[in-house]
Structure 1
């Protein structure tokens, strides 16, 4: 082993540098190569870890079990729900969200956010009003007739949600509001069936 010591004061020169002898061919041959089985096992572990990270922390697939969101979402549609979207922002009017049902957290529901904490909701003559402003809802089934509701003021930290198929939706009009902690994420993409693939925007 050669030890090189620099005594000069030249800027950028190291004080000490240790040179390692080159590895001999015999030493290289002595190292056992990775087996194919080990390489496959490592690749599988990495893939599983990534899948776990994506599914439980970033995105999660869901399927639609009922017709409460028709015509936007149909029974047996498959959607991707982003958990990332609400890390730094809050659900807003028009967002389609998946949440744990307040009366039975073992069940997941999908509905549209109609109003947030502090806003007042009412329905008159099939027209939705939020804070007394009429809200256009182009996503509703044509010629839909809704019964009157409210006025109801949403508590802070809660969300008032309804299905798009208003006459066949079990929603906030019946069982109340969704607490913030029950929100799983925002539905952002419909990926099945293929002929209906599209993003799911805010309205």
Structure 2
């Protein structure tokens, strides 16, 4: 019987691999790319959380001693007053003092401003602008006066027990500046805990608003001292 299948076809020669990096190098590069993408994703998430929920701040002055000390890193709850609640007496808050405690900034946005903003969101730089940390002493409608015969601040005729105040070298008065003000609706009377080392509502009595701060300028409530480790603490509301 005649074989009509023809000669057996030979397999084509192997195609040479494209010259390039060894497989191990390519695998390492792939891992590095995945790690970089993961790090960027984590950074973006962290920035979003800091921008809208919780933001770290570094304390740079002694105006809130001994409650907050220079160098403390604190966490500010930016959602504390976003769902109907408003700042209450005794709350320690961060607010934007532009236009009330500080002159309006008309210099525009610069690259350094943007970089500082990004660094501040993760606690690596000082926030740009005019952010202040103070304690709320009076809210809208309160009459805040200083001082009674025992040197105490009164709110609506009731003396405050301010056990958080920095000891002023034996000075029993809660303030060396006398004042008597009714806080306008929607505004706050704020003071530092170290009254002798704090520029606060008392220093702006002659300005529009009588030294008070608009509630809408409040960035959030300071709730936790996170660093240094021996300073870990939750901040309590001092008085209702």
TM above 0.5, yes or no, is yes
Query: Where do residues 45-194 of structure 1 align in structure 2 (5 Å cutoff)?
Result: 45-88=40-83, 89-101=85-97, 102=100, 103-104=102-103, 106-124=129-147, 125=149, 126-142=151-167, 143-144=170-171, 145=173, 146-175=175-204, 176-194=211-229
Aligned CA RMSD, in angstroms, stands at 1.8
Greater relative contact order: 1 or 2 (C-alpha under 8 angstroms, separation 6 or more)? 2
The secondary structure found in structure 2 opposite 1:127 is coil
Matches of 2:69 and 2:228 in 1, distance apart? Answer: 10
Distance 2:58 2:47 in 1: 19
Q: Is the 2:58–2:71 Cα contact (8 Å) retained in structure 1?
A: yes
Q: Structure 1 residue 90: deviation in Å?
A: 0.6
Show the counterpart of 1:27.
Answer: none
Q: Which runs of 5+ in 2 are unaligned?
A: 1-29, 105-128, 205-210
Superposed displacement of residue 184, structure 1: 0.7
TM-aligned CA deviation for residue 42 of structure 1? 3.5
Note if contact 2:226-2:232 (Cα within 8 Å) is conserved in structure 1. yes
Cα deviations by residue, 1:9-35 (Å, 9 ceiling, x for unpaired): xxxxxxxxxxxxxxxxxxxxxxxxxx4
Q: How far off its partner does 1:151 sit?
A: 1.6
| The structure with more strand, counted as a fraction of residues | 1
Shift of residue 197 of structure 1?
Answer: 0.9
* Deviation at residue 117 of structure 1 after TM alignment: 0.5
Q: CA deviation at 1:148?
A: 5.0
After the TM superposition, which segments of 4 or more aligned residues of structure 1 sit over 2 Å from their partners?
35-42, 102-105, 141-150
| Contact map agreement 2:177 2:202 (CA 8 A) in 1 | no
1:202 aligns with 237
1:104 and 1:188 map into 2 onto residues whose CA distance is 28
- Secondary structure at the residue paired with 1:181? helix
Using the size of structure 1 for normalisation, the TM-score is: 0.78
TM-score normalized with structure 2 length: 0.66
Q: Which residue number corresponds to residue 15 of structure 1? A: none
Residues paired across the two proteins, number: 170
